[in-house]
């Protein structure tokens, strides 16, 4: 930050503070990760200077010969990584990717099935304050309330709702669901009622790339799974902030038009270059090992928290994400209080509603944790056990003295595991 420090010392100082925060605290937010230095370099590259409305070979400005090669490389790598017949790497964010798919596949007012927000779904899966809930008629499916398989996806409910509402689209995927979702039975339900399937893989794209989560584009039989898969590139995929869409050829033309000119203008080619870097990294053998370690770390952290007296939603995790019900640990402890206490101790995570939560989404009875970022730093299962113990220590004591003691332990732990992109 030599130039920035001279040109804008005020902003440079803020970035230094943020870098120190990232290096000295435990990053357990499930939707965050650390990029490589190569991804950071591409994100800050000269491609920031280029305007490139359109697609490779079909631009509305001159001077795009190099940009066309960059974007084509990103498309080629995305297709290979997800075994996809088609890919679009232009969406600026996951919400944009979902919006493009809806615009291409639906008409305003069409019925859509998606996971309920209070049971794991996402804002763009039909929230009434979001464009999705305002433009389309979303019907929410959820998880089981009763044993067996409490808090696992209720496929019987999904099937009944599909038969009752005849949706044009079934949206699969979640932002706070700790289990693998098998697209096979959902594909069968969709075929029965004449619906398409969109799999929102924002959280699990990196696990799919690593081979530790089933590729929703294809069934185990080799037949077609989801029609289209949207995903962000900055969570488990460990790339820049942004998104992409992959799918089958019969949706390609409509979604390409929905992205541009339907929703977005000039693509962020510097971000697309960084996506290309991330796709290349995710295709490596070391990334497959990384994916396995992310899941192993999540399961170890989950077991540690369970041993400390926390209840795990659905009984555990298959992925990078853990959803904790605080009420067994302490009925009076809410998610907002727990999040604030842990943040003061250098443990960064987020409060989250649990299924059938009696508390509001601003308070909640739960916490959501993820292991993708800590795994990137090199932490393993022994560190996960320690993290679980530190969380329990803070939430049991809830005193300034204990918070300060844990904050120091967190600093010492983080000093031994510096994120690769922040090593210098």
Give the active site residues. Answer: 51, 53, 200, 232, 235, 241
Q: Say how far apart CA 1 and CA 116 lie, in whole Å.
A: 44
- Is residue 324 within 8 A of residue 366, CB to CB? The reply is yes
Known binding residue 123? Answer is yes
Beta bridge partners of 366: 325, 352
The reply to whether 361 sits in an annotated binding site is yes
Say whether 234 counts as a known binding-site residue.
no
| Number of Cβ atoms within 10 Å of the Cβ of 292 | 15
Residue 224 DSSP one-character state = B
Closest-CA residue to 421 (of 238, 235, 232, 203): 238
Phi and psi at residue 74, to the nearest 5°: -65, -40
Q: Is 249 annotated as a binding residue?
A: yes
Strand partners, 143: 153
Can you tell me the distance from the alpha carbon of 99 to that of 96, in angstroms, rounded to the nearest whole number? 5
121 marked as part of a ligand binding site = yes
**What is the gyration radius of the CA atoms in the chain, in angstroms?**
22
Q: Is 248 within any annotated ligand binding site?
A: no
CA distance 103 to 257: 9
Output the CA torsion sign for 43, 44, 47, 50.
positive
Residues belonging to the binding site for (6S)-5,6,7,8-tetrahydrofolate are 117, 121-123, 249, 360-362
Residues belonging to the binding site are 117, 121-123, 249, 360-362
């Amino acid at each position: 930050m030599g130039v920035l420090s001279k040109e804008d010392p005020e902003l440079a100082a803020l970035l230094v503070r943020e870098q120190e925060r990232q290096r000295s605290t435990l990053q357990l937010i499930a939707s965050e990760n650390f990029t490589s230095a190569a991804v950071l370099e591409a994100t800050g590259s000269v491609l920031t200077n280029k305007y490139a409305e359109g697609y490779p070979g079909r631009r509305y400005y001159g001077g795009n010969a190099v940009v066309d090669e960059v974007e084509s490389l990103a498309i080629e790598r995305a297709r290979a990584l997800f075994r996809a017949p088609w890919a679009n790497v232009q969406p600026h964010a996951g919400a944009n990717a979902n919006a493009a798919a809806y615009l291409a596949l639906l008409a305003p007012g069409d019925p859509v099935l998606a996971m309920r927000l209070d049971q794991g779904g996402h804002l763009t899966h039909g929230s009434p304050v979001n464009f999705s809930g305002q433009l389309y008629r979303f019907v929410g499916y959820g998880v089981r309330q009763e044993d067996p398989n409490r808090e696992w996806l209720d496929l019987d409910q999904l099937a009944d709702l599909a038969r009752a509402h005849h949706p044009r689209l079934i949206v699969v995927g979640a932002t706070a669901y700790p289990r693998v979702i098998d697209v096979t039975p959902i594909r069968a339900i969709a075929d029965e009622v004449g619906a398409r399937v969109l799999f929102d893989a924002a959280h699990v794209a990196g696990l799919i790339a690593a081979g530790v989560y089933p590729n929703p584009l294809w069934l185990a039989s080799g037949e077609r799974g989801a029609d289209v898969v949207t995903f962000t590139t900055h969570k488990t995929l460990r790339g820049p902030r942004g998104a992409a869409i992959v799918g089958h050829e019969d949706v390609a033309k409509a979604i390409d038009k929905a992205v541009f000119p339907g929703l977005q203008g000039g693509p962020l080619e510097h971000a697309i270059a960084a996506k290309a870097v991330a796709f290349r990294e995710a295709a490596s053998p070391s990334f497959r090992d990384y994916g396995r370690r992310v899941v192993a770390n999540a399961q170890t952290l989950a077991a540690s928290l369970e041993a400390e007296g926390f209840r795990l939603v659905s009984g555990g995790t298959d992925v990078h994400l853990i959803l904790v019900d605080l009420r067994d640990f302490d009925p009076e402890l809410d998610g907002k209080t727990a999040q604030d206490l842990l943040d003061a101790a250098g443990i960064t995570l987020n409060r989250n509603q649990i299924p059938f939560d009696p508390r509001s989404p601003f308070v909640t009875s739960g916490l959501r944790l993820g292991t993708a970022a800590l795994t990137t730093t090199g932490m393993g299962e022994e560190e996960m056990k320690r993290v679980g113990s530190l969380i329990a220590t803070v939430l049991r004591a809830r005193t300034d003295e204990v918070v300060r003691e844990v904050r120091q332990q967190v600093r010492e732990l983080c000093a031994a595991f510096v994120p690769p992109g922040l090593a210098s």
